[in-house]
């Protein structure tokens, strides 16, 4: 049990920043979930990107809530789909460059799913999507971008931070900025008020 009314089951600095900026009291507990294995199994079984994002968020929320009884646990996951391909986070500069080349000149979908759980059971869930089109940037721009942004962008499935230099990658963006950053924040805040974790 924690002193705060909410546990964030995520190691994402972007999600922490959004909740802190919104004035939400919380503590962080990293979930012990093999996300990449789960993603591979789900995608391999034919699950679409939305199902994958929701299942990963639920697995993380339940894993932490089982260890911290009587406490609300918020978990989230983000999946990037371009065409029929579901992307994973890049591990190094080579993989980051390959991801950005694959997305260059194309539209992709970002799905951000959030689940709130207590005592090992999900209480609430929400998924939102955003669509982003990367411009056909030059190889020179790509290298300059990677030099400036690594290693921070390795924590993002699309290898960009839309709130920073990553905005230069795009020609069109359709969707909520919070969703793009990895959390459907406004619905989450509403749910936290409903569950008494925030003042109404």
The DSSP code for 147 is: H
Backbone angles phi, psi at 120, to 5 degrees: 80, 10
Query: What is the 3-class SS of 7-65, one letter each residue?
Result: EECCCCHHHHHHHHHCCCCCEECCCCCCHHHHHHHHHHCCCCHHHHHHHHHHHHHHHHH
Residue 1 has what pLDDT? 36
CA distance 23 to 9: 17
- Residues 6+ positions from 64 with CB-CB distance below 8 Å: 7, 9, 29, 31, 73, 75, 117
Burial grade of 91 (CB within 10 A; 0-12, 13-18, 19 or more): exposed
Task: Give bridge partners of residue 18 from the DSSP assignment.
Answer: none
For residue 12 the two structure tokens come to 């994402």
Say whether 54 is catalytic.
no
Please identify, in words, the CATH class of the domain defined by 6-194.
Answer: alpha beta
- Residues 6+ positions from 146 with CB-CB distance below 8 Å: 93, 96, 97, 100
pLDDT by position in tens, the chain (length 200): 344 689 999 989 999 999 999 999 999 999 988 888 888 888 888 889 999 999 999 999 999 999 999 999 999 999 999 999 999 999 999 999 999 999 999 999 999 999 999 999 999 999 999 999 999 999 999 999 999 999 999 989 999 999 999 999 999 999 999 999 999 999 999 999 999 999 99
Write down the catalytic residue from 54, 77, 139, 176.
Answer: 77
């Amino acid at each position: 049990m924690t002193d705060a009314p909410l546990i964030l089951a995520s190691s994402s600095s972007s999600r922490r920043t959004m909740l802190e900026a919104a004035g939400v009291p919380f503590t962080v507990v990293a979930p012990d979930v093999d996300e990449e294995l789960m993603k591979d199994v789900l995608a391999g079984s034919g699950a679409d990107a939305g199902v994958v994002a929701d299942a990963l968020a639920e697995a993380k929320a339940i894993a932490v809530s089982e260890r911290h009884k009587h406490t609300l646990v918020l978990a989230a996951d983000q999946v990037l789909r371009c065409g029929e391909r579901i992307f994973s986070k890049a591990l190094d500069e080579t993989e980051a460059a390959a991801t950005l080349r694959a997305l260059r000149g194309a539209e992709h979908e970002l799905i951000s799913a959030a689940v709130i759980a207590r005592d090992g059971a999900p209480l609430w869930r929400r998924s939102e999507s955003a669509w982003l089109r990367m411009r056909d940037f030059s190889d020179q721009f790509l290298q300059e971008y990677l030099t400036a942004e690594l290693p921070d962008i390795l924590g993002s499935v699309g290898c960009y931070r839309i709130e920073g230099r990553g905005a230069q990658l795009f020609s069109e963006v359709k969707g909520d900025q919070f969703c793009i950053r990895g959390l459907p924040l406004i619905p989450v805040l509403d749910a936290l008020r409903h569950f008494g974790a925030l003042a109404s």
